[in-house]
Amino acid sequence: MPREWDAKTYDSLPLPHQQWGKRTLGRLSLKGGETVLDAGCGTGRDTAALLDLVPDGRVIGIDGSSRMLEQLRVKLADRLDRVEVVNADLTKPLPITGQVDAITSVATFHWITDHAALFDNLAQYLRPGGQFVAECGGRGNVALINAAVEEVLGATDEKQKVWYFAGVEETTERLRNAGFTDIEVSLLPDPARLEPGEQLWSYLATVVLGSHLDRLPEADHEDFVRSVAARLPEPVVDYVRLNITARRARP
Ligand SMILES: C[S@@+](CC[C@H](N)C(=O)[O-])C[C@H]1O[C@@H](n2cnc3c(N)ncnc32)[C@H](O)[C@@H]1O
């Protein structure tokens, strides 16, 4: 299963994910009775927004972190009758029945290194003609942070890489191979500025550097995060977002 997240701290941070979520859901065209799958739903911010978009429909929220899903259940406690909460790995067969009308995903796919397997898997759960709108870190994402991490830890072995930041061409081809059509993929630089000090450290530790921290002894965590932060030219996370819009091809 994917790694665990500190869900409460995550929700307390000024997340650019809120804008990414709005932008991504804004590309959906829904009538109100559909079933939508939120792939990597985390603590459920976009799951809640989707519930508003489908007042007569349902949302399936899937995530690999049980702590993120616990927080989602608390946040959506009074709306869970229309939400199926699923703790699963998006690259493996999903424990859901039938096909959904749309799949959406925010800030998740770059945590998954095998995008061909990811798209093949998700396509099976999307009805022919169904919409696929997603965003994640794309080519060039957090390059300055990666450079700072390398300065602190030394160069990372290819197999040890914790993220995959795909580009437009290979994503388009993988989507086509997985049976998608009407494919539009683009990259958008979208830097996020934070307050220097506690806010930056907390953001880096919770949102960006978690997988690196998982591999370090607890006693080294604070030093590591501060050393990375100190090497950044400004308190800015140099995000580059990969935006995807597609449909599952009809037979
Ligand atoms: C940065 S969070 C984004 C959460 C939410 N979409 C948002 O925008 O706030 C990334 C999420 O992807 C989930 N995730 C990463 N890899 C996954 C996988 N292979 N299967 C399921 N969930 C995964 C994590 O558990 C985490 O909740």
- Residue 251 Cα to ligand 1 middle (Å): 31
Residue 1 is predicted with a pLDDT of: 76
Banded model confidence at residue 162, pLDDT cuts 50, 70, 90: confident
Alpha-carbon distance values, 134 to 11, 26, 192, 245 (Å)? 20, 11, 19, 7
For 132, residues 6+ apart whose C-beta sits below 8 A from its C-beta are: 102, 103, 104, 122, 126, 175, 180, 244, 245, 246, 247, 248
Residue 159 is predicted with a pLDDT of: 65
Binding site membership of 53 for ligand 1 (Cβ less than 6 Å):
no
Tell which one of 22, 63, 203 to mutate to probe ligand 1, the residue whose CB is within 8 A of the most ligand atoms: 63
Rounded to an integer, the average pLDDT of 31-49 is 98
Rounded to an integer, the average pLDDT of 91-115 is 97
Q: For residue range 126-150, what is the model confidence (pLDDT) as tens digits?
A: 999 999 999 999 999 999 999 999 9
- Residue 212 Cα to ligand 1 middle (Å): 16
pLDDT of 158 strictly over 90: no
Domains of the chain (ranges; CATH) run: 7-139+163-192+239-248 (3.40.50.150)
Binding site membership of 241 for ligand 1 (Cβ less than 6 Å):
no
Binding site membership of 65 for ligand 1 (Cβ less than 6 Å):
yes
The mean pLDDT of the chain is 96
Ligand 1 atom nearest the C-alpha of 18 is 8
Residue 155 is predicted with a pLDDT of: 78
Q: For residue range 60-76, what is the model confidence (pLDDT) as tens digits?
A: 999 999 999 999 999 99
Residue 19 is predicted with a pLDDT of: 97
Residue 2 is predicted with a pLDDT of: 83
- Residue 74 Cα to ligand 1 middle (Å): 17
Banded model confidence at residue 154, pLDDT cuts 50, 70, 90: confident
Binding site membership of 2 for ligand 1 (Cβ less than 6 Å):
yes
Residue 43 is predicted with a pLDDT of: 98
Instruction: Name which residue sits closest to atom 3 of ligand 1, judged by CA.
Output: 107
Residue 161 is predicted with a pLDDT of: 78
